[in-house]
Structure 1
């Protein structure tokens, strides 16, 4: 059994449901992700974010043991963003996320991340790291609220941000 198999299929918080992406998420996924302000700080999401990208994400997620979760509004189960843990053979687990712009400033990512980190700790996934552009104050605040601390100042190597200052933060239980 892989350690990611011990992550729950769904996680609920006071306002959110973290669950697997579904086909009916395609419309809200494309609508929210196809926003440069949402995608610019991410390392890999394409812009423009098209329906074909959303379909590919949903298909890959159905086969992915790393469990990317949709952040859905708990009452309506409507997609608001995506959060996940990414496992690598040669470095610690990484947390990644994005949230539709119309949901910014409400503490939703911190709520989702705290719940996912609790599940990660229960599954034995610690430490967890996150990479954030040094100018992304909102994301840095989210991570600090969840108990992450800066462990490295470096520069981004991904094409979109090559050479820009990057912080690597770490959380452990």
Structure 2
């Protein structure tokens, strides 16, 4: 996977967010240093309703720990903390897909705490990730979105992702951001 093959700095920031690899936060840098509790607080049923079926629903301590282990085994996960309050507000996870000879393609997933919806944080978070990708010579970012997840579609459109096809499952939309143009 791209993030294991290269020694990258996964930290970036935006006007309102500090973003780091989720295991790298020091307790003084975050209002809720317990990652399991952070995941429980972010992954509420309203947030997970458009996730793959096995990730939907309520998260307790056991399920949050299992989800963290699953993400650590096959993707890189970044945690966004609101700069002013140090409150954890969202997650981005990504993994490498495709043939490296055609460039580095990352598959992006992101989620934002329900209490932070409708404040522009998701758009800002994804925009910051795009800038990080440009700095790290990523060629393409792909994002799969369920057609009824209008808010997520809007976040991707605001960040100039294009959607021209459905994903291989034939149901969800596949959005693409080409960084080499």
Q: TM-score, normalising length from structure 1?
A: 0.80
Ranges in structure 2 where 5+ consecutive residues have no aligned partner: 24-32
Paired position in structure 2 for 1:47: 57
Alignment correspondent of 1:96: 109
1:107 positional shift = 1.0
3-state SS in 2 of match to 1:48? coil
Q: How many residue pairs align between the two structures?
A: 163
Residues 86 and 94, structure 1, Cα contact 8 Å, conserved in 2: yes
Q: What residue is the counterpart of 2:124 in the other structure?
A: 111
1:24 aligns with 2:34: yes
Deviates more, 1:14-23 or 1:132-141: 14-23
Q: What RMSD, in angstroms, separates the aligned Cα atoms of the two structures?
A: 2.5
**What whole-Å deviation, never above 9, does each CA across 1:130-158 have from its counterpart, x for those lacking one?**
11111111101100111101120357x4x
- The question of whether the paired residues in 1 share the 8 Å contact of 2:160 and 2:177 is answered with yes
Task: Provide the C-alpha distance between the structure 1 equivalents of 2:154 and 2:8, rounded to a whole number of angstroms.
Answer: 25
Q: Equivalent residue for 2:11?
A: 10
Match of 2:85 among 54, 76, 80: 76
3-state SS, counterpart of residue 102 of structure 1: helix
Q: 1:171 to 1:78 in 2, by over 3 A?
A: same
Matched, 1:172 2:178: yes
Q: Is residue 85–residue 95 contact of structure 1 (8 Å, CA) maintained in 2?
A: yes
Alignment deviations for residues 58-78 of structure 1 (CA, whole Å, 9 cap, x no partner): 4566x5684310121112322
Distance 1:93 1:76 in 2: 30
- TM-score by length of structure 2 reads 0.77
* Aligned-pair CA distance for 1:31: 2.1
Contact 1:152 1:168 (8 Å CA) reproduced: yes
For 1:65 and 1:120, the matched residues in 2 are separated by: 19
